[in-house]
Chains A and B, each alone.
Chain A
Amino acid sequence: MMSEKIRVKDIGKNPDRNLTTIRPEELIPLPPPYDDFEEQPDWKELSKGARENLVCNLDGFVAVSLPKPQNAEEEKKYVDQFVDGMKKLLSRENNWTFLQPLMLSLEYCIGCQTCSDSCHVFEGSGDNEIYRPTYRSEVFRRLVNKYAKPGGKFTAALNGADVDLNWTTITRLAELAYRCNLCRRCAQVCPIGVDNGLITHEIRKVFSQELGWAPKDLHEKGTVLQLEVGSSTGMNSLVAKDNVEFIDEDMTDITGIEVETCWDKENADVLLLHNAGEIMAWPENPGAFAIILEKAGIDWTLSSEQVGYDGVNYGLFYDDFQLARIALKHAGTAKNLKVNKIVMGECGHEHKALMTIADRVLTGEMSVNRESCLPFLEEIVFSGKIEFDPSKNDFPVTLHDPCNIVRNLGIVEPQRRILKYLCPQFREMTPHGVDNYCCGGGSGFAVMSVNNFTDWRVNIASRTKFKQILDAFADQPGPEVQKYLCAPCSNCKGEIRDMLHYYNALEKSSITYGGLVELIVNAMVDVKEPFIEWEMH
């Protein structure tokens, strides 16, 4: 238990100090050799400039980078806008997209705290009160009840009305909205069906859609860049094509299998939509896809249309309009090429954004067939078109379940059937499947590294996952055995990379990570040399 007792109303008080302070010794302990926190790298100090200019009084970490206000008028302007935003969030015109689930979650939480124990952030932090799933929701609920509902001031006394509406409250709340991975594990256990992940998502929307506040990595360098240039990596389509050409050459060299990615092929069966980050950070992943599709004789293509070569859609995490803009581009690309279907690459949020969240806005001619790569790969692996030798994958393998694919979409077994077939030493984590824990990078965190936020991510958000990974390999913990963590999701891989790097787990435990297609290619009889490289990318 934390020594300090933080109350809901404290969020608006004492702007001169942090609402809470995170101490390494209070976080849940990790198993050896990671149990001595003094051996871990020190946390990065905020720069003097950041401390002076940015709002940093939540927990000492900064994800949103809000400039401090110039004067009281500016504060008031934003506070008033926030109230307007809350009202719009409750309106049919401006928020029909999530109105019913939001209202149910705001109005019917009975306060049983069942959700707390399911949250990896709360648990990882050693039960810090402000990371409880209900803390942020309760702040918002009280503000909504009092300031955004008709007659709110009248009933507020009964429902708790003690949260001050001021600059400190709204800025801490904006920052706190980025201390939840939106994994929805809490929503699964709620006995009423309340969804604190959704409330967090909606709080982020108020800030983005009304006040224009969102982390730069998600907005300016994310959705805006993607819509402007074509990809949130900053690659335009020419650069993407060039890079893929290099990857093709590399793959041919490494495997001896001739690979040539086809671009913009009309009427292809499959439009493969990668997270373009793979092309830059993990080229072997799109490379492995190309090898598998070639060998299986699939009629497939990539698109070079603006946005059509990057499946990323950070709008999912903070802004319905950015989400819709990007989803429409993705669907439009498939329409223009007249393909049979879009197959999602190994990217969790791409799956969720395009397969389910955008489903109901892809009306009329925008409706295109959309499929996850996991059942698609399963079909290929068990089709007999490719010959496998599972003994080539005879090392310990465990599977991370990306929340957006598994908990949210219910795609659980195809990837397991592949791994059970191709990896003799496959073992599950505990818990797994739809009960898994988030990697800590969910809801955009994996690409957010400003200020000292990476330290927060790897130490708190990723802590439970890291412990789970170590436990899955507890039978062979030492560095002498090479172990593979399969994470079929780009953002999860981004987070896992930072986590393993921070804890130096490649050296201490020989744990490397990668996607599913790499394991498939590694087991192919036609691929003579090992495909998986046991080093940190």
Chain B
Amino acid sequence: MSASTVMVVLYLLLAIMVVAFAVRTIRIAKYPVHLRWELSPVPHEKGRGAYGGSYLEEFEWWTKPREKSLINEGIYMFKEIVFLKALWEHNRRMWYFSFPFHFGLYILFVMAVLLVLGSIASLLNLPTPGIGLVANGVPFLAGIGYVLGGIGALGLFAGRLFSQRLKPVTTPSSFINLGLLLAFFITGVLAVFSTDNFAYQATVFAQAFVTVYFAGEVTGPLAIHLIVAGIFLAYLPFTQMMHFVAKYFTYHEVRWDDEPLEAGSKMEAEIQELLQQTVTWAAPHIGADGKKNWVDIATSPPAEETE
């Protein structure tokens, strides 16, 4: 198939992905500051994170310096992201498939980065160790990534089909997500094993892609795989599969957000503004009349119920 066609389709799909991804991420980030809702353990609590303790264990905590350990937080995140530790501890049977699936994805991500860097390196005529790494690394990573990911996705798909436990919370989109992923892995395996010198073909395409140079050919299986990958990436930001972005926020901005309010802080100013908003909840005891704001309501007694 002509590389140009594949490239155009891919540019379009990736554009959708980038825009949707950004919109959704910004939306999460832009929610207003919320009330504290932290949950132990909070790993950045220095010396206490391991057993779930917090600075509130200190006598007159506000007189003491708050000691945070970003290293502990980093270690926690590393284990969680790379090994899916929470799943390992609390849902082992799912982990057996979810881990290879996610690990396969990570490997493929590394492979894609390597391809792009390699093609840039060769375009710039940089010395060759990088090129060798690409030539050997890409097929190796691709082989492992697609197979691991495929096995994992297959297991998860089967779980969705057969597990009584998962059934109540399994929706059509669970199947579409995993179905697309399966298609991605299977077409990937086919592309790797049916393409002569996969690394070379992939590098040539990556170079064309990076330089927007419309020429050349890609083999059928590789073309199909690239388009499936593009469709998947464009679809991803519209689904729960954005959980890896959400997870950053659920941890950092909810579970681990134990920042006390400081007088005169930016947060205090933001909250004072939020408290000025008009409330329209309708239950009688709230006493909202379309004009009162949060402060008015919180500083007045419950309105009489009129039945």
Contacts and interface: CB of A to CB of B under 8 A. Distances in A.
The secondary-structure label for the interface of chain A is: helix
A357 B36 contact: yes
B246 A8 contact: no
Contacts of A194: 250
B172 A158 contact: yes
B86 A410 contact: no
B302 A114 contact: no
A433 B35 contact: no
Interface in A192-216: 192-195, 198, 208-212
Ordered nearest first, which 10 A-B pairs have the shortest CB separation? A193-B250, A410-B54, A434-B52, A111-B169, A100-B31, A324-B298, A212-B283, A114-B91, A108-B246, A160-B171
A135 B168 CA distance: 8
A184 to B, nearest CB: 6
A192 B56 contact: no
A120 to B, nearest CB: 15
Interface string B223-245: 00000000000000000101100
Contact of B267 (A105, A360, A414): A360
A94 interface: yes
A408 B278 contact: no
Given A210-B282, A212-B283, A367-B263, A406 B172 contact: no
Contact of B171 (A111, A321, A341, A413): A111
A130 B62 CA distance: 43
Interface in B159-181: 164-166, 168-174, 176
A105 B282 CA distance: 25
Interface stretch (B10-18, B128-136, B253-261): B253-261
Interface in B43-63: 45, 48, 51-62
B56 A355 contact: yes
A468 interface: no
Contacts of B174: 111
A223 B302 contact: yes
24 contacts: A81-B282, A93-B279, A96-B274, A99-B34, A100-B28, A100-B32, A101-B37, A110-B243, A118-B90, A158-B173, A184-B39, A189-B89, A191-B86, A192-B246, A193-B246, A198-B37, A210-B281, A210-B282, A212-B305, A360-B36, A367-B263, A371-B59, A411-B53, A414-B57
Contacts of A110: 240, 243
Interface stretch (A169-177, A256-264, A374-382): A374-382
Given A371-B60, A408-B38, A362 B51 contact: no
B41 A410 contact: yes
A536 B243 CA distance: 50
B87 A98 contact: no
Contacts of A113: 91, 165-166, 169
Interface string A470-487: 000000000000000000
A227 interface: yes
A463 interface: no
A410 B246 contact: no
Contacts of A224: 285, 302
Interface string A323-341: 0110010000000000001
B168 A132 contact: yes
A211 B272 CA distance: 27
B84 interface: yes
Contacts of A101: 34, 37, 250, 254
Nearest to B298: A324
B183 interface: no
B171 A112 contact: no
A188 B35 contact: no
A134 interface: yes
Contacts of B82: none
A97 B35 contact: yes
A76 interface: no
A104 B242 CA distance: 11
Interface residues of A, number: 97
B173 A159 contact: yes
Given A134-B168, A357-B36, A363 B261 contact: yes
B171 A100 contact: no
Contact of B280 (A94, A109, A138, A184): A94
A413 B51 contact: yes
A113 B159 CA distance: 12
A276 interface: no
A117 interface: yes
Which of A5, A118, A160 has the largest count of B CB atoms less than 10 A from its CB? A160
Given A187-B39, A367-B261, A93 B278 contact: yes
Given A111-B174, A192-B246, A411-B54, A321 B298 contact: yes
Contacts of A325: 298-302
Nearest to B173: A158
A359 B260 contact: yes
B261 A210 contact: no
A491 B53 CA distance: 22
Contacts of B285: 212, 219, 224, 321-322
B271 to A, nearest CB: 6
B231 to A, nearest CB: 16
Interface in A127-159: 129, 132, 134-135, 138, 157-159
A430 interface: no
A107 interface: yes
Contacts of B254: 100-101, 104, 193, 195
Contacts of B297: 321, 324
Interface in A388-406: 406
Interface in B271-303: 271-272, 274-275, 277-286, 294, 297-302
Nearest to B169: A111
A114 B34 CA distance: 26
A412 interface: yes
B36 A356 contact: yes
B207 to A, nearest CB: 37
Contacts of B8: none
B255 A193 contact: yes
Given A223-B302, A341-B60, A360-B261, A92 B277 contact: yes
A211 B171 CA distance: 30
A190 interface: yes
Contact of A409 (B54, B98, B267, B305): B54
B56 A362 contact: no
A189 B297 CA distance: 36
